[in-house]
Amino acid sequence: MRSRVADSLYWMSRYLERAEHTARLLDVQLNLMLEQAPDASGARWLRLLRSLNIKTAVDAASVHDIPRALTLDAADNASIVSWITAARDNARQVREQISSEMWEQLNELYLDVLRARTDNRWQAEPHQFSRAVKQGAHLFQGITDSTMTHGEGWQFIQLGRYLERMNATAILLDAHFAAFPGDPSREILASEYLEWLGLLKSCTAFEAYCKVYTADLRPDRIAEFLLLHADFPRSVRFAAETVQSCLSAIADFTQTSKSGKANRLAGRLRAALSFDQIDEIIGDDLHRYVDDVQRQGAQIHSAIYQLYVSYPIESAIAS
């Protein structure tokens, strides 16, 4: 597969995952606003921005502008419309590599978001808008799995999705635990219950968490579930295992060595998440651990680019 194609499939998937993640966090935040005191809105929006890795100041005058900026502001590179536009642009460059159903679904989602900018739908029905983005992204993922051969291109799509998801969950955890310090094994205060509930719902994890731990919310259990659970699709461990599996499959397709840097980095992270214990992680420093996950994710991304996208021309000629 040409590096241009791999690059476009990879980023198409990452951008769409980013749009769905942003829509989900916004939807949860807007629901929480109905249950909480208005004077806490600035702190909540600031935490949301940190959860999306957006570093900016928030004051009383700008709080009400954040939802629209994160959804329909095409000039804002961190908005949903920008992510979906970028995903569509990448898909358009590789239309011959994806199914017609994939293109139709992504194009339909793009046009639906553009219509929302002109018909004032966001102001009238913000939850419906967020739900439409989430469902559109989920439908695209299902269509991808059902209509595309699970070869090299499909693996790059999965690689982009789960590397983005791993990073997003790590940042979300870091931002939330920084906002609510204290003994992670403690009982959650009544005043904090909705905040921790919101963290789980931001990862569509509340029902799955309850099946493992019941509805008794404790910070250490939430951290363990979102970091280390082997079977939950949005946990950091599940994403890291999928990334490593995709890299191994791509190595087979491209006849490259599985001992390359990208595979080694992904395998090392996967092993750590498989054997580390939450009490040791929290005892050492949860922030440092999650920050290290993000750092290793960035290293994996760089190694992928060096091997499959921006490799020297001599390597291509030799192969």
DSSP state of 309: I
- pLDDT recorded at residue 51: 93
Let me know the angle formed at the C-alpha of 257 by 254 and 260, rounded to the nearest 5 degrees. 115
Q: What does pTM read for this prediction?
A: 0.92
| DSSP codes joined into one string, 67-107 | HHHHHT-TT-TTSHHHHHHHHHHHHHHTTTTS-HHHHHHHH
- pLDDT recorded at residue 60: 46
Judge contact between 148 and 154, C-beta under 8 A: yes
Residue of 222, 189, 202, 249 whose CA lies nearest to 47? 202
Query: Which positions ≥6 away from 240 have C-beta within 8 Å?
Result: 162, 166, 266, 269, 270, 273, 293
Burial tier of 75 (Cβ tally within 10 Å: 0-12, 13-18, 19+): exposed
- pLDDT recorded at residue 57: 54
- pLDDT recorded at residue 107: 97
Grouped pLDDT means (10 residues each) for the chain, 319 residues: 89 98 93 71 82 70 74 86 96 96 97 84 80 96 97 97 98 93 80 90 96 91 96 97 96 85 95 96 93 97 91 44
Judge contact between 89 and 95, C-beta under 8 A: no
What's the half-sphere exposure (Cβ side, CA atoms, 13 Å) at 300?
29
Alpha carbon distances (Å) from 225 to 38, 123, 194: 30, 35, 18
- pLDDT recorded at residue 1: 61
- pLDDT recorded at residue 181: 83
- pLDDT recorded at residue 215: 84
- pLDDT recorded at residue 6: 94
